[in-house]
Amino acid sequence: MLAESLSQDNVKEGEILRGTVIAVGKDFAIVDVGYKSEGQVALEEFRLADGTIGVKPGDVVDVLLESRENDAGMCVLSKEKADRFKVWDEISAACERDELIEGVITTRVKGGLSVTIRGGVKAFLPGSQVDLRPVRNLDAFLSQAHKFKVIKFNKKRGNIVLSRRVLLEKERAALKESTLERLKEGQIVEGIVKNLTEYGAFIDLGGIDGLLHITDMSWGRVNHPSELFQVGDHVRVKVLKFNADTERVSLGLKQITEDPWSRAAEKYVPGTVVRGKVVSLKDYGAFIELEEGIEGLVHISEMSWTRRVKHPSKMVAVGDMVEAVVLDVDVKQNRISLGMKQLETNPYEQLTEKYPPGTVVKGHVRNIADFGIFVEIEEGIDGLVHISDMSWTQRVKHPSELFQKGDEVEAVLLNIDTGDGDKPKISLGIKQLVPDPWDRIPYDYPTGKVVDGKVLKVLDFGAFVELEKGIEGLVHVSEISEAHVEDPRTALTPGQVVKVLVLHADGAERKIGLSIKGADRAKDMAEAQGFNSANAGGATLGDKFRGKLDKLKPTSPGRSGTRWMASLVTRGSRCAGPVRSTGRCSRSAGVGRSPTRFARTTRTSIRSSTRCGVAPRPSAPRRASSA
C-alpha cells in the first residue's frame, strides 16, 4: 500500500497518462489512470470527423492530467490536449529531421493561410510562401491538401510556420536543369500559361519560363493575351530564341502555322472587291480584317467621293462587316490599301461636261478662309471663289466683309483643274457676273476731263479720290496745288469734295491719275475765254475752245490750234517740244498768269509757233479778237 501511495504521489499535473475507459456517461467518459480516484473526459473530445462519439468501455486512451481532484473528488483529464502534445512532439521531431508534413489549407487569415496538420494542430502559411510567384487570389488554395516544410517552430508559444515555396523551388531547380539540357531554338515544346501581362504571356516550360510576346501569338490582331489564354492553359509553342547564359527564352505561337501574307499577293489583286470586319479605328482610317492575320487599311480619304469625313467613326464602327476594293498590296511591308468610295460612281468624272467654263451656278457658302470662300455647288462638291474674284472695284481685305457661312451666292464657273489627284479644283468667280467697269473707264474718263470727286484717304504721297463707287484715282502731292505742299493732310481732308482733272486712265493697270491744280488751271482758262463751270456741262476745255480755235489757222505745220490748246490744258503748261537744260520747255504756255494777260497773248503765241514745234509762249500783250 505504501509503494502504491508513493507512486500516486509522483503523478504530476500536465503529464500524459494512459488509462482505460471504464464507463461512458451522458456527458463524460470515466477513465481509470491508476490514481486513487478515477478521472472524467468530456465526450466532445471523442467526437469523430463524421460527428459520432468514438469511445466505449474498455478503450485504452492517452489523456492529460489537468487537475488531480475537482469538486466531485475526481481527476480532470483531457484527451484532446494529450493528442496535441503528442502531435507537437511529432512535429518537433520532423522539424529536427528536416522532414515534410502534410496538411489541408482551411481558412484565409491576415497575411496568409491557416493550415490544419496532424491532430488538428493549426499552422500558419504566409502568403509569400504559397507559390513561386506572388498570388493575388489566395482563396483559390482553400481546401487543398499539400506537403509543407516547417520553417519556424515554437512549442511554448504554440507557433508553427510552414512553407510551400521551398518545396516548389527544389522541384523547379531539378526541372530547370533537365529543361536546359534539351531546349533548342526551333523546337516545339509544351508548357503551361503561368502569368498574363499586357505585352504577353509567360509559359512554364518546366523549371524555366519563356515569354510568348503578344505579337507572336497570332498572325491576326490581338489586343490582350487574355483574348487567347487563361492562366493554367496548356499550349504548344515554338522556341524562337534561347540564351543559356541568361536563361531567357522567346516563344512563338503563330510561327507554328503558315504565314498568310505568303499568298496575299495572289489572293488580293488590285481591283478585287473584298469583304471584311472592321477591327480598329484610327484618326487616319479604318483597319479591315480580311482573314486571320491579314488586315487592310481604308484611308479616310478613300471612304467617300463627296462627304467630308472627319473621323472614320462617321462611316463605320468596330465590328461592322464592310466591302471594299483592293487598291494596292505591299507584301514586304504586310500592307494592303483598300478603298470604299471606289464601289460608287465617281461624280467628278462628268463634272467638266456638266459645268463648262462660264456656267452660272448657285450654292451656299460652306467655309470662309483668308484667301476666299468655298461654295458648295453640289452635295460634297465645293468651288473656291478667290478673294481677287469677288469684286472688280472693291478692295476686299477679308471675305467675311462680304459673306457669311450659309449665305446663298451666285457665281460663274471659271475653271476645273483635274490634274491634281482624284478630286479636281473648281475655280469660281462672283465679279464675272457683271462686266468689268474698267473696260469703260478710259472712255468715261478721258484725259483732260474735269470731274467731281470725294477724298477718301490722305497719305504722305497724296490723296485717293473716289470718282464713282469703287473707282478711285490718285492725286499726287505735286498735283494738289500750285504752291508747294509739304503734307497733303494740311490741304485735304477725307470726305472733302474736290474738282479734279483726269491726267490719265489706264484700264490695264486699273489706275487713274488726277490733278487738282490742273482742274484749277482749266477753270482759269475757261473763265478767261468767257466760260464758267456752270455752263461747261461737264465737257473738257478742249470741247469748249474747239469752236473758237477752229477759226484760227495754225502757223505751225501739222499742228492745229485745237491740238495746241488741248496740249496746253492736259499737260499742265508743259510742252512736248525741245527742252532746255532746265528741263522745262522754252515755250511754255502762260498758264497761271492772269486771265486777261493770257487772252491778250493767245493770237501772238500762235503766230510765233515757228520757234517751237508746238505752241510758243506769246510775245505781245494783244487781246484776241475772237475772244
Mean pLDDT, consecutive 10-residue stretches, the chain (627 aa), reads 44 79 85 82 78 82 80 79 77 79 87 82 86 82 87 77 86 80 85 90 86 88 87 89 85 86 87 91 91 89 83 90 92 90 80 83 90 86 89 84 89 82 81 85 89 92 89 91 89 91 88 91 82 49 54 43 41 38 37 38 36 38 35
- How many angstroms separate the CA atoms of 186 and 252, rounded? 10
**Would you state the pLDDT for residue 494?**
92
Question: DSSP string spanning 519-586?
Answer: HHHHHHHHHHTT--TTSSTT--HHHHHHHHHTTSPPSSTT--HHHHHHHHHHTTS--SS-B-TTSSBT
481-486 long-range Cβ contacts below 8 angstroms, 24+ apart: 481/516, 481/517, 481/520, 482/517, 482/520, 482/592
**Would you state the pLDDT for residue 84?**
74
Q: Cβ of 278: how many Cβ atoms within 10 Å?
A: 19
The values of phi and psi at residue 135, to 5°, are -105, 125
Contact of 203 with 194, CB cutoff 8 Å:
yes
**Would you state the pLDDT for residue 116?**
85
Question: Whose CA is closest to 236, among 220, 251, 247?
Answer: 251
**Would you state the pLDDT for residue 553?**
44
CATH match of 437-528 with 2.40.50.140: yes
Q: Domain 183-256: which topology?
A: OB fold (Dihydrolipoamide Acetyltransferase, E2P) (2.40.50)
Contact of 523 with 507, CB cutoff 8 Å:
no
Domain boundaries, the chain: 2-84, 98-167, 183-256, 260-343, 351-433, 437-528, 541-611
Class of residue 221 by CB neighbours under 10 A (exposed 0-12, middle 13-18, buried 19+)? middle
Residue with cell 508534413: 101
| CATH homologous superfamily of 98-167 | Nucleic acid-binding proteins (2.40.50.140)
- How many angstroms separate the CA atoms of 279 and 276, rounded? 9
Q: Cβ of 32: how many Cβ atoms within 10 Å?
A: 14
Rounded alpha-carbon distances, angstroms, from residue 79 to 25, 26, 103, 432: 16, 17, 21, 116
The values of phi and psi at residue 267, to 5°, are -85, -35
Strands 408-417 and 372-378: unpaired
Dump pLDDT digits (tens) for 176-233: 877 887 888 888 888 899 889 999 999 888 878 889 999 888 887 888 898 888 988 8
**CA angle, corner 264, sides to 259 and 269, nearest 5?**
180
- How many angstroms separate the CA atoms of 65 and 32, rounded? 12
**Would you state the pLDDT for residue 418?**
73
CATH match of 260-343 with 2.70.50.30: no
Written as nine digits, the cell of 415 is 475653271
- pTM metric for this prediction: 0.42
Does this chain's domain 2-84 share its CATH topology with 98-167?
yes
DSSP 47: B
Dump pLDDT digits (tens) for 375-386: 988 877 888 999
Across the strands, what pairs with 252?
Answer: 238
Residue 316, sorted as left (phi over 0), alpha (psi -120 to 50) or beta, turns out to be beta
Rounded alpha-carbon distances, angstroms, from residue 528 to 174, 188, 256, 531, 551: 131, 119, 113, 7, 18
CATH number assigned to the domain covering 351-433? 2.40.50.140
The values of phi and psi at residue 617, to 5°, are -70, 135
- How many angstroms separate the CA atoms of 193 and 239, rounded? 15
Class of residue 308 by CB neighbours under 10 A (exposed 0-12, middle 13-18, buried 19+)? exposed
Written as nine digits, the cell of 419 is 490634274
Across the strands, what pairs with 447?
Answer: none
Residue with cell 515757228: 610
**Would you state the pLDDT for residue 119?**
66
Written as nine digits, the cell of 79 is 484527451
Q: Domain 2-84: which topology?
A: OB fold (Dihydrolipoamide Acetyltransferase, E2P) (2.40.50)
